Amino acid sequence: MRNLIFILGDQLSFGITSLEGADPDRDHILMAEVADEATYVPHHKKKIAFVFAAMRHFADALRAKGFEVTYSKLDDAGNSRSLSGELARACHALKADKVIMTEPGEWRVQQVINTSRAALGRPLEVRPDKRFVCSRAEFASWAEGRKQLRMEYFYREMRKKTGLLMEDGQPAGGKWNFDADNRKPARADLFMPAPLRFDPDPLTRTVLDLVEARFSGHFGDLQPFWFAVTPDQARMAFDHFCKTALPRFGDYQDAMLRGEKFLYHSVISLYLNAGLLDPLDLCRKAEDAYIRGHAPLNAVEGFIRQILGWREYVRGIYWLKMPDYAESNFFGADRPLPDFYWTGESDMLCLAEAVGQTRDEAYAHHIQRLMVTGNFALLAGIAPKAVHEWYLSVYADAYEWVELPNTLGMSQFADGGLLGSKPYVSGGNYIHKMSDYCASCRYDVKTKTGPDACPFNSLYWHFLDRNATKLRANPRLAQVYRTWEKMGGERQAEYLRTAEAFLTRLDNSLRV
């Protein structure tokens, strides 16, 4: 029996289940670049280049293992522009007896595959994606009957399952979570290691030329392009992080500094989400750094929690709640996304820095996403679906299964508290504490109201006031609402007037 093995662009793993039992003498592999996948949102040019370059290198690696590979390039004559079209075209040309693939990561792609079944005219075997520690079914079983689906409790189960950072059945160091140790603001005189960079080889340069020609209108800068595009390079990048940055990753993982785009972050999520790296392997290497005494427990636990806890958890939430989850809008927010999310042209320096870095690198770390661009969007009442589509467009690591719950649940509280126990909102003081942005900003973070005050300060209270009927009963916000009530009517009105004046400028597309 001749099988056609269909490998998607985020399944670039030699251990992918679709390749289990594959025989180079019998089976044929299909990979396809298609316009539909590159344009369903206006993906950052660097992301398109990364995915296409990694796909082409992976196809060559499969050929080196003896497989026949049909690779549909974006500009090939006859390219149908869609995954379903390329799959049907290959089935017809190769006369395969059966199609084998690993389940897609995104609901949208799964629907494409489901509707393609009948047209294929041959069996389609869809195998589970075993690159995750927790299967979809296992997560659904864990979630069943629970009133709250908190990541912390899920994370503990994953620690027990894998044995990571466990000592005699108990968490290393006597605690499951060392997050309280990981909130130090960075100092400007810290040594900042840089992610490992790779010069594009001829194959990657061909992709860069293609992207520049075909997607010049998309968001972001294509050059310089320095991402890893093979599993070997990605492993080198991770090993470099472990050696140079992991020891201080925990301390400064929430910090932000002008001119320092990466600080002590790993910048490997794009490799991980595309399949170039294995999540459990990364966690075990980080654990080994702790065991060897190279990195402290708070750093290693924080890193492992991001992968074993948060990444696995949001995937579980995604598949448990889709497709309705994508329409979540607990607060009924409907303000359009401001233009400065695309241009970076704002007098709010923190936003200008975060968007500018995103434009340059297709990357921003989790606090820039959560407490700068996400915080502002939630406070300003921007439509959560518009925020979701922006995050999906601009980051090289963004795939809907991981980005959507992070945006709608964690960042925008659009699911009403399914994923997070309270909205992640703050005034300007948090950004001032964790960054050096405020010192050079046109707005004054210490001024609470008026045209020169940091907009986060008044927007914070405006958000809480207009959503009081939905949030006042939240136990984690009880003290905040008591503070609001103690201010008195005149002070409250001053905050609300300042916020409304700012939002009017925003609605009129004036520079803010």
Name, in order, each residue with C-beta under 8 angstroms of 423's C-beta and a sequence gap of 6 or more.
378, 413, 463, 471
pLDDT higher than 90, residue 290? yes
CA-based nearest residue to 452, from 433, 437, 438: 438
Name, in order, each residue with C-beta under 8 angstroms of 267's C-beta and a sequence gap of 6 or more.
195, 237, 241, 363
Q: What phi and psi values does residue 77 have, to the nearest 5 degrees?
A: -65, 135
Length of the chain: 512
Q: Are 279 and 307 in contact (CB under 8 A)?
A: yes
In the chain, what are the domain boundaries? Answer: 3-127, 136-193+245-320, 340-507
pLDDT higher than 90, residue 188? no
Sort strands 166-167 and 170-171 into parallel, antiparallel or unpaired.
Answer: antiparallel
Name, in order, each residue with C-beta under 8 angstroms of 365's C-beta and a sequence gap of 6 or more.
253, 256, 262, 263, 265
Q: What phi and psi values does residue 334 have, to the nearest 5 degrees?
A: -140, 10
Number of CB atoms found within 10 A of residue 242's CB: 20
CA-based nearest residue to 143, from 130, 156, 153: 153
pLDDT score, position 251: 85
**How confident is the model over 74-83, as pLDDT tens digits?**
999 989 999 9
Whole-number Cα distances in Å, 281 to 39, 235, 278, 288, 466:
32, 10, 5, 11, 46
Which CATH architecture is the domain 136-193+245-320 placed in?
A: Alpha Horseshoe (1.25)
pLDDT score, position 204: 98
Q: Say what the alpha-carbon torsion angle 251, 254, 260, 265 is, to the nearest 10 degrees.
A: 70
Name, in order, each residue with C-beta under 8 angstroms of 463's C-beta and a sequence gap of 6 or more.
378, 379, 381, 423, 425
Residues 186 and 156: their CA atoms lie apart, in Å, by: 29
Whole-number Cα distances in Å, 15 to 22, 102, 136, 264:
11, 11, 19, 30
Q: Following DSSP, what letter does each residue of 290-333 receive, concatenated?
A: HHTTSS-HHHHHHHHIIIIIIIHHHHHHHHHHTTGGGG--TT--
pLDDT higher than 80, residue 181? no
**How confident is the model over 212-271, as pLDDT tens digits?**
999 999 999 999 999 999 999 999 999 999 999 999 988 888 889 998 899 899 999 999
Structure confidence at residue 180 as a pLDDT band (50, 70, 90): confident
Please state the rounded mean pLDDT for residues 326-335: 97
**How confident is the model over 361-412, as pLDDT tens digits?**
999 999 999 999 999 999 999 999 999 999 999 999 999 999 999 999 999 9
Structure confidence at residue 286 as a pLDDT band (50, 70, 90): very high
Report the chain's mean pLDDT, rounded to a whole number. Answer: 94
Quick one: 340-507 is in which CATH superfamily? Answer: DNA Cyclobutane Dipyrimidine Photolyase, subunit A, domain 3 (1.10.579.10)
Structural class in CATH, domain 3-127? alpha beta
What single letter denotes the amino acid at residue 349?
L
